[in-house]
Structure 1
Amino acid sequence: MIFGDIKVKAPIRWAMVGGGKGSQIGYIHRAAALRDNSFQLVAGAFDIDPARGKAFGETLLVSPERCYPDYQTLFAEEAKRADGIQAVSIATPNGTHFAICKAALEAGLHVVCEKPLCFTTLEADELRALANRQGRLIGVTYGYAGHQLIRQAREMIARGDLGEIRIVNMQFAHGFHSAEVEAANPATRWRVDPKFAGPSYVLGDVGTHPYYLSEVMLPELKIRRLMCTRQSFVKSRQLEDNAYVIMEYSNGAIGTLWASAVNAGSMHGQKIRVVGSKASLEWWDERPNQLIYEIQGQPQQILERGMDYLYPQALEDDRIGGGHPEGLFEAWANLYFRFAMAMEALGRGDQAAVDALGIPGVDAGYEGVRWVENCVRSADAGAVWVEYR
């Protein structure tokens, strides 16, 4: 149970690039990072418009002289200060992530980055090597990976409660872009433009979320080959707004993933179901406090967050007792709480402590990019099977 006690010696001095006025994701980052006093927001380059960014930063109680016009100035000026920033979060369009992340690492900063970390595995490899040389953390915000019941599912699978894993069914299929909303919404417009979003829309934007949940729950499961088909149902879009992926794993299991922004009527639709030889688990982010557990031949069980019958790993990050809802903000806060502990551990050279935290780090960012690359390669070749590489 988390009671708000600080687990780091002092709050990490922290900045943001992007996430300015009107940014939903920017607010989520700040709400998560500041919840446990593990971070202190002291600087930022919050907006592509410097004046607007400075005005917004001041509303966050950031000193005017530490509200910078761009990330280059932010990193250069903060490096001159004895109390300069130690970490930065990147909440900007996809096409900027690689350059900002690389510059932050070169400046000796820890990084928390929105996904995708970058566009190619070559770029991801470069960032991973740089982070290792600098001894700095790259955290990737696969937000719901911080939810306690994801850890419960991981532990149940590891202990053999489901038996041999046969099927993994994943989806993140909402309906909010079932029409051409980007015509009037700049925040959506860049997501469907390959110049800013990269080689994929929904595969990278939403599909990587349940895919990473599967990696958390099933770390030993490795893809052998996959087949992907993708569509743009809104014809003005250059990138797909719907995609299906079939995956064959090295142990003989099969996986499917549906990523969509045109599932009309669906609010969010992020679900993962793991089927074993003895039982199945299912989790849905719209009802995050319940994990469905179905043993063959027995009545369905609903496991509730915060209850003593869960494994200890699922109880560590509870912020309130069972029965009260915890969801997105708490899951993100759990990630940031652990990001701070990882940053401190790296500062004392304790890689083992970092590994034990189970956070989505640079390897998670790399695997997300790798998965999208393989999906695009299959879809662009005519929805053919491709060996996973």
Structure 2
Amino acid sequence: MIQGDLRVTVPIRWAMVGGGRGSQIGYSHRCAALRDNSFQLLAGAFDIDPERGRDFGEALRVAPERCYPDYRTLFAEEAKRPDGIQAVSIATPNGTHFAICKAALEAGLHVVCEKPLCFTVEEAETLRALARERRRLVGVTYGYAGHQLIRQARAMIAAGELGEIRMVHMQFAHGFHSEAVELANPSTRWRVDPKHVGPSYVLGDLATHPYYIAETLLPDRRIKRLLCSRQSFVESRAPLEDNAYVLMEYEGGVMGHLWASAVNAGSMHGQKVRVIGSKASLEWWDEHPNQLRYEVQGEPVRILERGMDYLSPEAREDDRIGAGHPEGLFEAWANLYGRFALAMEALDRDDTAAVEALGIPGIEAGVEGVRWVEHCVRSAEAGAVWVDYR
């Protein structure tokens, strides 16, 4: 059933920090947030250059007086307005996330933040404590988790259709950085600079996406220990890795494997998650996100299609255009933004149970992503050894 109803009572008054002209990720945020009329873009500090930011904001039909030179001015001035913003999205380089997110929470705003949420577990826990104290949402844009068939896979695993879970294999391995493209591309250059991205490149930038999907599919599984080996095949990127392998041992004996790479030459995207049980397996590939591969031992392979009536109610909630019409990344992001808006409404009325039922990548997902990267780096720097997960 196509869900065409407006789900938010009144659109959330919303602003952006970063995401200015030429920003691919900024465009993704706006397309997603505005798609279902859940948010209204009213203000922003869109660029580190105030004039460029103002010019771009006006091109988006944001009032000139609400195009601010920086995030601190944005938060301070909007707080004075009776129609001031309620939420902000952060689409800036990684090294700025903690300071901006902290300032937004202190200003009483809901936050949607690019990943990684910050660089250290200590910083992440500071944000978690502040979000709980202020009763504000912190959503993290693990956008691929918004695809319908991720929710379908979760429902099938929970129903026991795979039997006892034994393994989960994850990868995000593209080939677009097989050479030192950052030398000629400023938008890539900061991604391989520790000052801007912290202690890792592909572990934080790529691997956390399939890792979060695996968390979504197996919410009750906890890692006991992991081992990480990372490489810098383009030597100028050292000490940051452009390729990494992670082995994980979960509680209950489930084993996990994750491959993250930006040097998988010829691969377009290469993000896949495969969950293997004692009876059957499920595999989802983000280059074909409208299909979920279901393999029962001894039976023909089944391909489940998005939008079909045989899917779970959770998956059908995200249907917009019916079966047969392919949906893509913007719809997946819009599914998350729609749930972010519902969560913001729920928190504003102190309904935490409603927030938990939405299944969004919130502050806990942000903290866990930072914790996982931190453990991977610790293992790799110790010589690719097993480290206890705590």
Mark yes or no: TM-score above 0.5: yes
Give the match for residue 63 of structure 1: 63
- Contact conserved, 2:115 with 2:142, CA < 8 A, in 1? yes
Q: How many angstroms apart in 1 are the aligned matches of 2:328 and 2:388?
A: 37
Give the match for residue 381 of structure 1: 382
Give the match for residue 216 of structure 1: 216
Residues 200-252 of structure 1, C-alpha deviations (whole Å, 9 max, x = no match): 00000000000000000000111111000001100111310000000011110
1:336 is paired with a residue whose SS is: helix
Instruction: Report the residue type matching 2:340 in the other structure.
Output: F
TM-score where L is the length of structure 1: 0.99
Instruction: Report the residue type matching 2:59 in the other structure.
Output: T
Give the match for residue 117 of structure 1: 117
CA shift for structure 1 position 312:
1.3
Give the match for residue 173 of structure 2: 173
Give the match for residue 14 of structure 1: 14
Q: How many angstroms apart in 2 are the aligned matches of 1:3 and 1:299?
A: 32
CA shift for structure 1 position 9:
1.7
Residues 66-111 of structure 1, C-alpha deviations (whole Å, 9 max, x = no match): 0000000000110010000000000000000000000000000000
Instruction: Report the residue type matching 1:219 in the other structure.
Output: P
Q: How many angstroms apart in 2 are the aligned matches of 1:8 and 1:328?
A: 22
Query: Structure 1's 2 and 97: CA in aligned 2 closer, same or farther, altered over 3 A?
Result: farther
1:184 lines up with 2:184 in the alignment: yes
Q: How many angstroms apart in 1 are the aligned matches of 2:3 and 2:301?
A: 33
Instruction: Report the residue type matching 1:164 in the other structure.
Output: E
Residues 341-362 of structure 1, C-alpha deviations (whole Å, 9 max, x = no match): 0000000000000000000000
Unaligned runs of 5+ in 1: none
Give the match for residue 315 of structure 2: 314
Give the match for residue 76 of structure 1: 76
Give the match for residue 236 of structure 1: 236
Instruction: Report the residue type matching 2:290 in the other structure.
Output: N
Q: How many angstroms apart in 2 are the aligned matches of 1:309 and 1:344?
A: 31
CA shift for structure 1 position 340:
0.4
Instruction: Report the residue type matching 1:365 in the other structure.
Output: G
1:27 lines up with 2:30 in the alignment: no
1:95 lines up with 2:90 in the alignment: no
Give the match for residue 299 of structure 1: 300
Give the match for residue 284 of structure 2: 283
1:37 is paired with a residue whose SS is: coil
Give the match for residue 250 of structure 2: 249
Q: How many angstroms apart in 2 are the aligned matches of 1:195 and 1:336?
A: 29
2:274 is paired with a residue whose SS is: strand
1:245 is paired with a residue whose SS is: strand
CA shift for structure 1 position 329:
0.5
Q: How many angstroms apart in 1 are the aligned matches of 2:39 and 2:339?
A: 11
CA shift for structure 1 position 327:
1.6
Q: How many angstroms apart in 1 are the aligned matches of 2:255 and 2:349?
A: 42
Residues 299-321 of structure 1, C-alpha deviations (whole Å, 9 max, x = no match): 10000111111111111111111
Q: How many angstroms apart in 1 are the aligned matches of 2:365 and 2:134?
A: 19
Deviates more, 1:306-315 or 1:64-73: 306-315
Give the match for residue 127 of structure 1: 127
1:384 is paired with a residue whose SS is: coil
CA shift for structure 1 position 144:
1.0
Deviates more, 1:230-239 or 1:108-117: 230-239
1:16 is paired with a residue whose SS is: strand
1:230 is paired with a residue whose SS is: strand
Q: How many angstroms apart in 2 are the aligned matches of 1:308 and 1:9?
A: 28
Instruction: Report the residue type matching 1:229 in the other structure.
Output: S
CA shift for structure 1 position 5:
2.4
CA shift for structure 1 position 3:
4.0
Residues 256-277 of structure 1, C-alpha deviations (whole Å, 9 max, x = no match): 0000000010000000000000
Unaligned runs of 5+ in 2: none
2:132 is paired with a residue whose SS is: helix
1:54 lines up with 2:54 in the alignment: yes
Give the match for residue 157 of structure 1: 157
Give the match for residue 196 of structure 1: 196
2:237 is paired with a residue whose SS is: coil
Give the match for residue 262 of structure 2: 261
1:274 lines up with 2:275 in the alignment: yes
Deviates more, 1:3-12 or 1:38-47: 3-12
- Contact conserved, 2:38 with 2:341, CA < 8 A, in 1? yes
Q: How many angstroms apart in 2 are the aligned matches of 1:20 and 1:302?
A: 39
Instruction: Report the residue type matching 1:44 in the other structure.
Output: G
- Contact conserved, 2:2 with 2:322, CA < 8 A, in 1? no
1:133 is paired with a residue whose SS is: helix
1:72 is paired with a residue whose SS is: helix
1:243 is paired with a residue whose SS is: strand
Q: How many angstroms apart in 2 are the aligned matches of 1:232 and 1:185?
A: 19
Query: Structure 1's 56 and 2: CA in aligned 2 closer, same or farther, altered over 3 A?
Result: farther
RMSD: 0.7
Instruction: Report the residue type matching 1:261 in the other structure.
Output: A
CA shift for structure 1 position 2:
4.8
